[in-house]
Amino acid sequence: MPHAALDVVADPIALFRQWLDEATASEVNDPNAMALATTSPQGMPSVRMVLLKDVDARGFVFYTNKQSRKADHLAAARNAGLLFHWKTLRRQVRIEGPVEDVDDAEADSYFRSRARISRLGAIASEQSRPLPDRAELERRLAETDALYPGDEVPRPSHWSGYRVRPVLIEFWQDMPHRLHDRMVYRREAGTGWQTTRLYP
């Protein structure tokens, strides 16, 4: 069934949450999956899929190894782009903005919520670095498992999260005859969100 045309709303984060809830009800896998775009110190763009773990008025949060390639990029250029694409709903959302670190309390809380094997993996994996073979990863995981035999697995200092603080959010949805609906929200200092409808 075709979508109704987008209405202007005061709070694009609330609209995003509504779309994410609808995606959660319709998408088969990972409705919180998003493409994360960064830029290398040499200016080369790079993109990969990560999972959204929190969203509120402050921004969009994901977690990673701080020694990874994406973290190197974010250390050099503290800006990122995000893209959500919900194929079943024929919708996408683009987000752009500066990036900040989440605080230790947030990172600790999320780390504790992960499955034990995932917490062990965060310690054992040297993310983005060359791996001689799969057996080496499994060996490191076994060593880490033996080091922390109980459920208490400490968050490693090199594992934490980032928050993308949006200055631009674009909502796109499919409409008949490729006359798609596009609405852009830009955060202006002192005036809040300003809205522009775009040609498809």
**Torsion angle of the four alpha carbons 126, 119, 114, 55, in this order, in degrees rounded to the nearest 10:** -40
Of 178, 186, 187, 197, which one is the catalytic site residue? Answer: 178
**Is residue 65 within 8 Å of 122, Cβ to Cβ?**
yes
- Is 178 a catalytic site residue? yes
Catalytic residues: 178
